[in-house]
Structure 1
Amino acid sequence: MNLLLIESPGKIKKLSQILGSGWQVKASMGHVRELANDGEDALGFDLIGDRVKCRYTVRSDRAQKTIADLRQAVARADTVYIATDPDREGETIGWHLAHELHLRRPYRVTYTEITPAAVRRAIAQPRHLDRDLVAAGRARDCLDKLVGYKGSKHVVWALKIGAKSMGRVQSATLHLLCQREAEIQAFVPQDYWSCWVEYAEGFKAFYRGDANATDDESKEPDEAEDRTKQAPESQKVLSQSEADRIVAIARREPHQVLRIDKRKTSQSPPPPFITSTLQQAAGAKLRLSPDKTMKVAQALYEAGHITYMRTDSISLSAEFQAAVRDYLQQHDPSNVPDKVTRYRSKGNAQEAHEAIRPTHVTRTPEALAREVSREEGQLYQLIWNRAVASQCRPAQLAKTRILSQSGPLFWEARGQVVTFAGYTKYWNNISEDTRLPNIEARQNLTCKRAGADKKRTQPPPRYSEPKLVQLMERKGIGRPSTYSPTIKTLKERKYVSLTKGKLQPTGLGMELDGVLAKVLPDLIEANFTAKMERDLDAIADGKLNWESYLTGWNRDYFYPALIKAKQEIKQFVPTRVSEQKSGHRSAVKTEATEVVCPQCKRFMTKVFSRSPKLKADHFLSCSDREGGCGTVMFLNVATLQYELPYSQQKPDPTKLSEHPCPQCGQPLERHEYTREGQQKVMLRCSNPKTRRDKCKEVAFFKTKTGNWWSPKWGELGTPTAKTAKKTPRKQRRTSRGRSK
């Protein structure tokens, strides 16, 4: 009996069908071991000289049961093959399995697609675990824990602002978002005018200050951008008076064609998908988050429909390229290129992998749609179209530029026509055609209208999730397997929020990044993090010893940087020391503020406190000033706003509904909240005094039909508050009956 060890149980059925009798397929359910949480700062490893002594422990009770089951399967097997995922993480998981299952030199097999040919070819050509890949995986684990655990404990937690963690990739990514937010906040909008003329000959031209001036033609949109072409504009005119002068000349002076420039050009097809470009395209076209994209792609991979979805290589196998060529010759012969199109990956790509592609080009999206879910079918269609497009002929374009003149002014019109669709039949990333009329040089033109549109410069946009993935890849931050988890962590830590599809740093995220930029500036810079990724690549290539690298990096940079940061962090944390004792009480340190008391309108005082009940290190009080009313306010660390105690908060009258609380009869209020990055709304009791006990189960959620429904109270009716207050139990039974 042969035993094949894999990661995901979702692949067992497919692989068992391929391998047939004489084989048993078992899943490790992902990682089975991890670094222990012991030793200095719970790192689970010690740095001794130029050696790293790691202590590993079984990850969970479930992992312990999985290991026991796998040991029994190993005892019954004649030969054991480890077929964890074909990347560094998969190699490291295989190494952990070998240790826990006491396998001396197990066979290691890898495949990037779950098809009979690929799996059997891998089984026929086994190898042993790659020590260099395992070393790179172990180095990454230790490096991430070293930065995450020590940085979080000695820097982040010391701030006492509610931040929970920092991380090697996490903090560098947050810094990119905060840098863009700072640009947006510093942006000063400027008014300008776009001047134009509309000709009776059937086209529109825009003002150019110089006959030889050539604005850059609009670039083709990338994966994370919408294909809609932005409206053309003239050279910016910075005053109303100048715009009026230009328009007056345009209306007064005759117009004539000065020059017509025509040229033919071609647009090459884009390469097939890698992890980052798949996430970008799925976000732009399907509105899927990176995390959701990878879950759907995982299902397609496990079902044998696509190749492995965590890759940064754009290369395709010769067999697949030949299959696409055959497919095109049968179905689209005019799109067969003269020679096979090949792409060169960037320097740090893992060339052992292929790009993301369908396992069989003959399995079209239409044929597969009946076998998979709607989201899986849509994502597969993107992957199939992109892979086929990459092997097609270039698109042919005819571009035209008309330059006209009126008095001393010059006007320009641009047109673009696709003369041969080529690859765009499958992947259209070329803007809509703009046809210009057939006119001749020196031809007189008739100005129908002339005008100037007032506009305002816009700040740089915030990043969408797919756009951030693109930026992370370009900056060299992280690797394909880390893009999605990093963004997910930033949202879970409440360092960023998703607002109208864009990632915006919260007050907490901005404050944390501001401190890290002062005390650990190198660690959050993209170039610094990218250098660490290149070092891990060198370890994977066998060019660098992982233990020497990690101990040297800690000795030469991180340890002294952390010591310095621990000293500097004190300036960001208010000193809470007792002053001279007065009687039996210690005078507490206070500071004056300009926060106005919501009750008596006097300025409140900041009172520093070590109370473990506080999420910050202080609160505001109105009792330390003459005539103060005694009101206190606490800092909400998520919003960085001061709030009254929960029981004293008054409901916002604009958020009150006409529905009564089924428990106490008070009006229900609309409450907006964020879950998994999505803005949601619910109805809850508006009485803060009962909301946490008597009415804590009162929660109504919006259904697809637009009604309000509660798991306990059923569908929300429209009784009067008086009735609801008198008969809450009866209403509860009625609601429960309806929900059934």
Structure 2
Amino acid sequence: MTKLVIVESPAKAKTINTYLGKDYHVIASYGHIRDLPTKQGSVLPEQHFEMVWELNDRGKKQLKEIVSQLKSCDELLLATDPDREGEAISWHVTEELQRQKALKGKPVRRVVFNEITKSAIQKAIDNPRDVDKNLVSAYLARRALDYLMGFTLSPVLWRKLPGSRSAGRVQSVALRLISDREGEIEAFKAQEYWKILGSFFAKKDIETQLIEYKSKKLDRLDIANEAQATSIVTSLNGAEFRVQSIQTKQTKRNPFAPFITSTLQQDASRKFGFSASKTMQLAQQLYEGIDIDGKTVALITYMRTDSTNLSNDALTSIRDYVKDNFDKNYLPDQARQYKTKSKNAQEAHEAIRPVDPKISPKSIEAKVQRDLWRLYDLIWKRAVSSQMSSADIDQTRIDIEDTNKLSVFRATGSVITFDGFMALYNESSDDEDEEKSKLLPALQEGQAVECKAITPEQHFTLPPARYTEASLIKKLEELGIGRPSTYANIIKVLQDRSYVRLDKKRFFCEDRGRIVTAFLHNFFERYVEYDFTAQMETQLDDIADGNQKWDIILKTFWEKLQENVTATNALRITEVIDALNLDLATYLFPAVDGQADPRKCPECKDGILSLKLGKFGSFIGCSNYPTCNHTRKLSSNDTGSTEEGSDNAPSKLTESFEPKEIGQHPETHLPVFLKKGPYGFYIEMVDPEAPPIVVGKKKTKAKPKRASIPKTVAIDSVDLNMAVELLSLPRELGNHPETGWPITVNKGRFGPYIQYNDAFTSLPDSLSVYTVTLNEAVDILAKPKEKKTKKPAK
């Protein structure tokens, strides 16, 4: 009995083929074979939300192949990924086969596995099921919601806010988070405060901070100015000091749960500077299988999950590894179980873990591409350490007082007495400001100590930090917005729409993003509320669980959205501008020293400054136009397409720019330089030991690796991570699954492109040259090129 197995990607098909016998044929669908066309009328609310699906070019080709293969097979097995998207792909394939009457009564079964191993695949085949209609309904509801929101709100934005790109159910809420943070930073007023530091000596130096003065415990802002700080220091001049108290306690630090999608994205961002999309691209390869010693090996379990659960088999294999490779006190008596912290967790998967913990990162380091190895090393260490013993830490606190009992200074220190899981793994944080472990001297209460110096130190309170990719994903997860499979795409869309920019690993909200958020907040407030979006996710979960009807939820959503849109139809542009002027007042019209009204025109003196919506973007103009022609950019954050912005601005670098080293390349360990040439700035990496190039009888020095810096990039923002990314081009994605010919991507005069078989194909704006995958490239190459029509002769 011959069985046809359908999976998403050729890489996954290749790996599974190595485990199944001659009675199985495995082919790839290359993701979704059909989708909703990006035009009006793809979802029909008046017809019970019927959806009009359209086969894509690659889908047509793959469906034809599936139909052909199915003729010689007795059964169809749908082995797509074990989540809603995977269920949807299986459903789409089944629907199309039924529409084309290609099944001819042959059984269709769904098989799911969380890891690509022979035993897991065989177990799935032995326990098939039907396509889960509830999961499919949840998928349909999500697609319809996103489509209706986008195709209803976006036209309103285009009419009322020229220059705006789009609005979306989840992307607009994520944008609001970044925009609101900008507002918090603008509204922030720094406060001065002072610390009093004491440097003492008893056997060794002891660094302390004043915590109590004249019997009053000091809060951070209690010493408000230099005069107060100086007065305290003066009062302690010549004082003698002794140990008031010593407190020592032992604490335990427990291991972290194995990774889920969001925590993997966060830690990879903090440790390696990986974007969320790059992390998922690498994880996909580790899941589907990579070549090791001529064999295709899947290294990790499925990477889109919000479950921290580990199977009993996984727990056993990890604990066996710890038992065999560490002292016995590193293995706790019982396996650790973790409860997921994410709101609305719904995926019934395991956590992300190595398929086989015996495949240690060290054993494959020389056989795997560096970034793949680094991500596997991170996943492996997190999973294995999650089943190790807690670390033991001794924490010590010493309070030192002067003999007149005016002041108390405190020193704290901690020492790891047993490292436990920390022998393998420790989590990073975005703003690591933890006091380093330090050993304090053994002292006794009442013991005299020498005062070396008492020093006042000025500080100012800091505004809230802008979001990094890691902290934004963490916040989205806490609020219950989005799902494991959507975080990377949410971030990508915001950047592609030029609503936000990532500068030195922090998100800055662009003018366009601030204005769109303010518009939605004023006129479509319900749809950018955090609770509303989280409630929608809960309802989608209820549909997946079979507790809600998807069409009823859509009907309620659509009716209220229609009411809201109808209410804005009569809005005049002047009303929109008045609302935005008020909402964004501190942003658009910052206070100016010596000027009572920041909205007063500085040129004509009696006009009022206001937001203006122009054909080429927004700006500030005077109400007395055309009598007064005063205009300015919206803000200092503006990075729009200006003359400065098109020449690596805003940089303080001058024409006499000196080359500078910005770090060592993580793979080659060669120095990477930022340089300036006659055509602009570029990155250069030189290998002094590179063999010379031989042409005929002549030997020439090997050329250094160089990469131009895009003119839209501010030179001040170029760091090592960006340089490494630029130097990675051209990227070889792999060989075409049908011809075996190599596929590469690169950037050229006319933008990013795919090179295959001596032909060049433009890369769509929706994909990045640095993260596009082999599957996506193959899909693009399968589409027919648009023919340029010749203009008629005059």
Q: Is 1:31 the equivalent of 2:17? A: no
The alignment's C-alpha RMSD in Å is 3.9
Counterpart for residue 691 of structure 1:
none
Counterpart for residue 262 of structure 1:
248
* Contact 1:194–1:235 (CA under 8 A) maintained in structure 2: no
Query: Aligned partners of 1:553, 1:537: CA distance in 2, in Å?
Result: 16
* Contact 2:182–2:509 (CA under 8 A) maintained in structure 1: yes
Q: Is 1:337 the equivalent of 2:338? A: no
* Contact 2:619–2:632 (CA under 8 A) maintained in structure 1: no
Q: Is 1:205 the equivalent of 2:208? A: yes
* Contact 2:610–2:623 (CA under 8 A) maintained in structure 1: no
| Residue 269 (structure 1) shift | 0.6
| Residue 428 (structure 1) shift | 2.3
* Contact 2:519–2:576 (CA under 8 A) maintained in structure 1: no
| Residue 634 (structure 1) shift | 10
Instruction: Please point out which of 127, 135, 150 is paired with 2:137.
Output: 135
Amino acid at match of 1:93: I
| Residue 565 (structure 1) shift | 3.5
Amino acid at match of 1:322: T
* Contact 2:109–2:131 (CA under 8 A) maintained in structure 1: yes
Counterpart for residue 55 of structure 1:
52
Instruction: Please point out which of 548, 571, 589 is paired with 2:552.
Output: 548
Within a 5 Å distance, the mapping from 1:409-420 to structure 2 comes to 409-420=407-418
* Contact 2:603–2:630 (CA under 8 A) maintained in structure 1: no
Amino acid at match of 1:420: F
Query: Aligned partners of 1:702, 1:129: CA distance in 2, in Å?
Result: 44
Query: Aligned partners of 1:357, 1:214: CA distance in 2, in Å?
Result: 48
Q: Secondary structure of 1:552's partner?
A: helix
Query: Aligned partners of 1:622, 1:264: CA distance in 2, in Å?
Result: 68
* Contact 1:635–1:641 (CA under 8 A) maintained in structure 2: no
Q: Is 1:433 the equivalent of 2:437? A: yes
Larger Rg computed on CA atoms: 1
| Residue 606 (structure 1) shift | 10
1:66-114 Cα shifts (integer Å, max 9, x gaps): 2111111122211100011110111111111101122576200111111
Counterpart for residue 676 of structure 1:
none
Amino acid at match of 1:128: D
Instruction: Please point out which of 424, 430, 455 is paired with 2:422.
Output: 424
TM-score, scaled to structure 2: 0.72
Counterpart for residue 293 of structure 1:
279
User: Identity across aligned pairs (percent)?
Assistant: 33
Amino acid at match of 1:130: D
Counting matched residue pairs gives: 629
* Contact 1:255–1:404 (CA under 8 A) maintained in structure 2: yes
Counterpart for residue 311 of structure 2:
317
Counterpart for residue 524 of structure 1:
528
Stretches of structure 2 that go unaligned for 5 or more consecutive residues are: 290-297, 428-433, 579-598, 658-676, 684-706, 713-724, 730-746, 750-794
Q: Secondary structure of 2:207's partner?
A: strand
Q: Secondary structure of 1:544's partner?
A: coil
* Contact 1:657–1:670 (CA under 8 A) maintained in structure 2: no
Q: Secondary structure of 2:71's partner?
A: helix
* Contact 1:632–1:645 (CA under 8 A) maintained in structure 2: no
Query: Aligned partners of 2:612, 2:524: CA distance in 1, in Å?
Result: 27
| Residue 570 (structure 1) shift | 3.9
TM-score, scaled to structure 1: 0.77
* Contact 1:251–1:447 (CA under 8 A) maintained in structure 2: no
Query: Aligned partners of 2:337, 2:235: CA distance in 1, in Å?
Result: 54
Amino acid at match of 1:509: G
Counterpart for residue 357 of structure 1:
353
For residues 321 and 624 of structure 1, do their structure 2 counterparts lie closer, same or farther at Cα, with a shift above 3 Å needed? closer
1:149-180 Cα shifts (integer Å, max 9, x gaps): 101112x1123331110101100000000111
For residues 210 and 418 of structure 1, do their structure 2 counterparts lie closer, same or farther at Cα, with a shift above 3 Å needed? farther
Query: Aligned partners of 2:726, 2:115: CA distance in 1, in Å?
Result: 42
Query: Aligned partners of 1:329, 1:396: CA distance in 2, in Å?
Result: 19
Query: Aligned partners of 2:201, 2:113: CA distance in 1, in Å?
Result: 63
Query: Aligned partners of 2:374, 2:49: CA distance in 1, in Å?
Result: 46
Query: Aligned partners of 1:423, 1:94: CA distance in 2, in Å?
Result: 41
* Contact 1:280–1:466 (CA under 8 A) maintained in structure 2: yes
* Contact 1:15–1:114 (CA under 8 A) maintained in structure 2: yes
Amino acid at match of 1:164: R
For residues 470 and 672 of structure 1, do their structure 2 counterparts lie closer, same or farther at Cα, with a shift above 3 Å needed? farther
Amino acid at match of 2:87: E
Instruction: Please point out which of 448, 452, 462 is paired with 2:452.
Output: 448
Query: Aligned partners of 1:173, 1:128: CA distance in 2, in Å?
Result: 36
| Residue 234 (structure 1) shift | 6.7
Instruction: Please point out which of 385, 388, 394 is paired with 2:381.
Output: 385
Query: Aligned partners of 2:656, 2:230: CA distance in 1, in Å?
Result: 52
| Residue 408 (structure 1) shift | 1.8
Amino acid at match of 1:387: A
For residues 210 and 108 of structure 1, do their structure 2 counterparts lie closer, same or farther at Cα, with a shift above 3 Å needed? farther
Q: Secondary structure of 1:433's partner?
A: coil
1:431-470 Cα shifts (integer Å, max 9, x gaps): 6321111111122222111111111111111111111111
Q: Secondary structure of 1:440's partner?
A: coil
| Residue 209 (structure 1) shift | 2.5
Query: Aligned partners of 2:276, 2:650: CA distance in 1, in Å?
Result: 37
Query: Which range is displaced more, 521-530 or 341-350?
Result: 341-350
Q: Secondary structure of 1:564's partner?
A: helix
Query: Aligned partners of 1:443, 1:616: CA distance in 2, in Å?
Result: 70
* Contact 1:113–1:306 (CA under 8 A) maintained in structure 2: yes
* Contact 2:161–2:613 (CA under 8 A) maintained in structure 1: no
Within a 5 Å distance, the mapping from 1:140-155 to structure 2 comes to 140-154=142-156
